[in-house]
Structure 1
Amino acid sequence: MRKRNLLACMLAGLSLLSACSQEQGGRPQMAPEVAVVTLEPESVTLTRELPGRTSPFKVAEVRPQVNGLVEQQLFREGGMVEADQPLYQLDDATYRADHESARAGLQSARAELEVARLRAERVANLVKTGAVSKQENDSARADLKKAEAAVASARAAVRRSRIPVDYARISAPIAGRIGKSSVTQGALVTANQATALVTIQQLDPIYVDLNQSTSELLSLRRALEAGQVEDTTDLPVTILLEDGSTFEHKGKLEFAEATVDPTTGSVLLRVVVPNPDHMLLPGMYVRAVVGRGLRDNAILVPQQGVTRDPKGNTNAMVVNSDNKVEVRPLTVSQTIGSHWLVEDGLQAGDRVIVEGLQKVRPGVQVTTVSAETEQPARAVEAATEADS
């Protein structure tokens, strides 16, 4: 009897374990949940960072136009000067003496002119009465014209003698920041000497000279001709300083050089940038974000949704219409904010997984939720070329 009870208990336990096992094995496995972004076409401004250096808007190397000793330096080195502001005073004693002599010559010529005029008038009256011959009258008129010419010549000599006096006071040809003087008081300088006395640079505005490779230039022109992008040369140019900060004033693309530098294979682009505080100085290394074109119907994918395989190929995990995961090989060209610009591999309406990639593999069925992602900017402040 006791054996029968023990056997019944064992059978009941086995039945219970079997039922539990069947219940656990028969429960369906839940599909993993992933966050997706549904791609939509966008209008974006494509940009490119180009290296460059600053150069002054205007440069004037000041040289003397007459010989002389430097009597005075009339400016503070490193300061700001205005156009026509006196910079140096040369010894002008000899030039002033020549000028006074020329003025005296003019007075003498004017006196001679007055004598000739009076004589010509008297002879003209006498010739009417026959008191003098016509030949004498002609001679008097000729002497008058000679005296008038002598006055004109003396007047020109006065103006000419004044020029060295004015040149002895050397003035600034342009406004700007003046540099270090190469001469001191008492130095002898000569007209049009090779060494400049001082250099003045206008820094507001200032130029930024950029270098763009010919391959990029050709690619952009082909894209413009094909209608793939719209021209954006009128967009403001953002200047990035060497410490990574952004310069507060925007520049404007002024022109592109018509020739290619044979040593670098690049084309010079010149940007004009306001520089009221003189933050930018000539020779500084900067980078400029220049517009390459406006592209309509561009496809942008969040960077967290793009991966690379061991071979370096770019891929994205996409949820298809059956809610199954598939791998899409991509071609991307550049970053725009926190997104990649897709050239091939994705299209509008595709659902790209941006969260939960570690939970899935190709062919797995998933449950999707919409991800909250930062919207890409329509007009991008900075963009960099992709390595792919």
Structure 2
Amino acid sequence: MTTDSSVFETDLATLRRLLGPPREAEGGFVRWTNVELLDGSSGAAVAEAYDTLHHEEVLYHHDAATGLRTIIAIHSTALGPALGGTRWYPYEDAEAALRDVLRLSLAMTAKSAVAGLDLGGGKAAVIGSPADRTPGQLAAYARAVNHLAGRYITTTDVGTTTADLDALSEFTSHIVGTSPERGGSGDTSALTAETVMLGMRAALQVAFGDESLEGRRVVVVGVGKVGGRVARACAAAGASVGVADVWSEGAERLAAEIGADVLDPATAYTEPCDVLSPNALGGVLNEQSIPELRCRVICGAANNQLLRDPEDAELLGEHGILYAPDYVVSAGGVINVAVELDGYSEERARAIAARVYPTTLEILELSERLAISTADAALRRVEHRIAAQVV
């Protein structure tokens, strides 16, 4: 990261262009409230309580001493403090970082609401390479979190680790996902994979009238922490599993372990199968890819799988593909860290996570009953939850 003051001026000019004049600016902290992108790219609000057009707050901070540049977006605190991870990534510019946190914080509101958590949605981006991160930058970032006075609670995301959270916890209490030694829950991948499997069984029940994986063909794309666990669980349940990952060595090692076959990641999405489980990149379900799919069910942990939501969910339905909304089935991670706020208990976390099966089933059945997309059905669930709280 650079300490050049011109970076601050460039970032500020970009954010003013997109957000208008800030409500306050002092000491390297710049804050906007009731945020709406001025270029109209936020999209149209499609629900009354779950407002997809506005965000409550955006905070930008540049720490001149360390060169830290961060943007934190709070979409909603209607249900409680906004929870969302910190993404430490070498964004091209402040606009790219802003658009990312606005999109992801919106999704976090939906994820917490549909999981039944008393939390809202937030997200943070730090502009820079995690390889260049310094202790001073972590401390500066913690000050930005503290500036929001508990309205935002952070945790891990791309480019941040449990060790980073442990370091941040020296400077802020508005944090979850630290190591068990620090009173946190540690790695959330196990519970995330568990809720994906619960969602998958619910989707199989709706699609085939039988939730069993025995004899089913499952293609898992992305076999990192979560995807690898999903592949193992499917194989253990009797499914024929194909795995694909850009890290071919990892895919080959996992395939040898569980008796799966290795697929080319460039063509894995079009592999004939009963279940396609995306666990890597977002935006993979779109106008170009959907007509090429040869699956009956889609259920995975990758965030924002639909490039256009809900339009691409409607297109999936037109092609006879049952899509289990990703933020519904991947809720295990946020559930795991949310439980920390009252003192972590694995038993309590798993009990809340178990709700994902009936929730997914209800959403998919509502979609069928009302002849609407599964994305629209999930949105109704989110809207109902938030509306009930704000009335």
Establish whether TM, by shorter chain, passes 0.5.
no
From the CA coordinates, give the structure whose radius of gyration is larger: 1
Q: Answer 1 or 2: which has greater helix percent.
A: 2
Q: Answer 1 or 2: which has greater strand percent.
A: 1
Could you state the TM-score of these two structures normalised by the residue count of structure 1?
0.15
**Structure with the greater relative contact order (CA < 8 A, sep ≥ 6): 1 or 2?**
1
